[in-house]
Amino acid sequence: MIRTSLTPRAGWQQQFESLGFSYHSIDGLYWDERYAYCFNSEQIDVLEQATLDLHQMSLQAVDHVVRHGMQDRFAIPAQFWSLVEESWREKEFSLYGRFDLSWDGSGAPKMLEYNADTPTGLVESSVAQWYWLQDVFPDADQFNSLHEKLITQWKKFPGKGLLHVTCAAENEEDEGNLSYLRDTAIQAGFATKQCAIEQLGWDQKQGVFVDDADISIQNLFKLYPWEWLCREEFAAHLLTRPMTIIEPAWKMILSNKAILPVLWELFPHHPNLLPAYFDAWRISGNHVKKPLYSREGENISIYADGEVLHTTGEYGAEGYVYQAYAPQPKFDDGITPAYTSIGAWVVGDEAAGIGIREDETLITKNTSRFIPHYFID
């Protein structure tokens, strides 16, 4: 795994905007093609296998949690637990997810967490870096089959009729990801309608959810976290299961940091896992304190070598888990030092590619840069 310095292409901004990647420079610098990461084919094989293994272990962990009624550990509202159980036992359709891994190209990649409910970074991982590859390294390859696999997975969705897709209004990044996922659904043959989550409502007379045009919602893809959804004013109506929701309710388990101690309990010393516990006293040495619910690197505390690195935010009320510290590899060219995190994508049950983020600190945040990658045989 080599970090190389490059000269950005002329006009890349216009190219990406034409592809729907309008937020390429959000917060000043997001997409960053001054650098690229180079792998060999053996390293890509390691990443692919690690992704597959972690996903299968995670599914086993969900089954364990459901069978043992561990909802209290996950801070899932009690009234929603039966919905989670039913969703899992019926094996409700799941589209995609993303593991965050720490890896420097040698040894075993280590799982930091599983973004299994509302992962973003799709446009840049699937489309943007593929176009970059064709322009910059046309003779190389890339671990990236996201687009094709998303379309294939959509075709497996058993729902009939109109597919509504939604996210919070006025969030350019979420809207960009949602529009891209909508496009893959259209290519899979679905009729779709995009609207903001704020435009959804409950029609008491008909007993259905409706959009801003009072069209009933039968199938809903939501780029909106379950932990927020089940705390909305209309949340009680979700319990009647009036529509099919993607990602399904059982993803409340996988998208929760509480899955980390469960995985370690079920698969102790697995090379792709880090020791993780619900109780702080059970972990010693360098470690990370993570809220059960946390996004964009908020409210993370790293305790390493006598120092503490902490981020602020709005999370932590539901509790924390404690995970052994696996620092992201650091690359430093003397100009832009960076700690690197690898996002490994899952579509259905298949590994589908990677996206790489960089930050000047050890905690990846929403302001962290996206760096393209390629590999050679």
Cα separation, 341 vs 128, whole angstroms: 18
Question: Is the pLDDT confidence value at 346 over 80?
Answer: yes
- Confidence check: pLDDT of 367 > 80: no
The strand pairing partners of 347, in sequence order, are: 96, 350
pLDDT tens-digit map of 224-264? 999 999 989 899 999 999 999 999 999 999 999 999 999 99
pTM of the model: 0.96
Contacts of 228 (CB under 8 A, 6+ apart): none
Q: Cα(190)–Cα(222) distance, rounded to whole angstroms?
A: 16
Average pLDDT for residues 205-218, to the nearest whole number? 94
CA–CA distance, 279 with 356 (Å, rounded to integer):
31
Q: Which of 25-39, 145-159, 194-208, 360-374 has the lowest mean pLDDT?
A: 360-374
Q: Please determine, for residue 295, whether its predicted confidence score (pLDDT) is greater than 90.
A: no
More confident residue, 8 or 334: 8
pLDDT of residue 163: 98
The DSSP symbol for 310 reads: E
